[in-house]
Structure 1
Amino acid sequence: MNKDSFDEIIRRSMEIRRKYRQLELMHHGSEWTVEEDALAYLTDAGLVGRNIMSQQQRWPKVDSEAQLEHKLGENIWWLIVLAKRSGIDIRKAVDQFLIKTEAALE
């Protein structure tokens, strides 16, 4: 994936988050905090684990392959949102992680 593609994914992710904020204001009178976003992410991360277990036939099949795909995408979306809200450049964070990890494994 090139930089422009990742930038577009980030832009779209933040636009979706903006729309969710509007719903939060309408339904609850306030926006979610960063901590609430993080809790929502952790909940979805847990669902990825459950869906993987189901896919690997280690948990009763309750979710489809499409649900696993959706949750994987949603987790990446949450990480982009959390990085942005925390003032972290996700592009740089991923690049630095890859560089450091690749070097450690050489």
Structure 2
Amino acid sequence: MKDISFNEAVDRSVQIRELYHQLERKHHEKEWTVEEDALAFLTDAGLVGRLTMSQQGRWTMKGETMPELEHKLGECVWWLIILSERMNIDIADALDNFLSKTEKKLQA
């Protein structure tokens, strides 16, 4: 397993999204909106649910579950990075704030 830094993940995610934007402009004359990106994330998150059920033996799906589940989990992280970038939210700060707040709640 390769260990990449969070900052590297953000940088690579933004670069990949720009390549997708180029394809969107080429094939559809305009980039997806933030709302369309959010819908794509939700679609992939739903697939994570089905794939998880399949991996746990509670749902039958065609094909190999684990490679697709791993891909969709990574894609969901990617989408969260992209959504935060497009809405001018520092995802690293958001994660740190969430973790700190949640730790305080649970330790109280």
Over the aligned positions, Cα root-mean-square deviation in angstroms equals: 1.1
Q: CA deviation at 1:61?
A: 3.3
- Counterpart in 2 of 1:105? 106
- Counterpart in 1 of 2:65? 64
The aligned runs of 1:48-87 (5 Å cut-off) are 48-62=48-62, 63-87=64-88
Long gaps (5+) in structure 2: none
Q: CA deviation at 1:5?
A: 1.1
- Counterpart in 2 of 1:90? 91
Q: CA deviation at 1:64?
A: 1.9
Distance 1:5 1:65 in 2: 24
Query: Does the residue aligned with 1:20 lie in a helix, a strand or coil?
Result: helix
- Counterpart in 1 of 2:36? 36
Q: CA deviation at 1:9?
A: 0.5
Distance 1:39 1:12 in 2: 21
C-alpha contact 1:55 1:61 (8 A) present in aligned 2: no
TM-score (norm. length: structure 2): 0.92
Deviations 1:24-73 (A, max 9, x none): 00110000000000000000000000000000111013242010000000
Distance 2:106 2:93 in 1: 20
Q: Which amino acid in the other structure matches residue 16 of structure 1? A: I
Long gaps (5+) in structure 1: none
Aligned residues: 103
- Counterpart in 2 of 1:6? 6
TM-score (norm. length: structure 1): 0.94
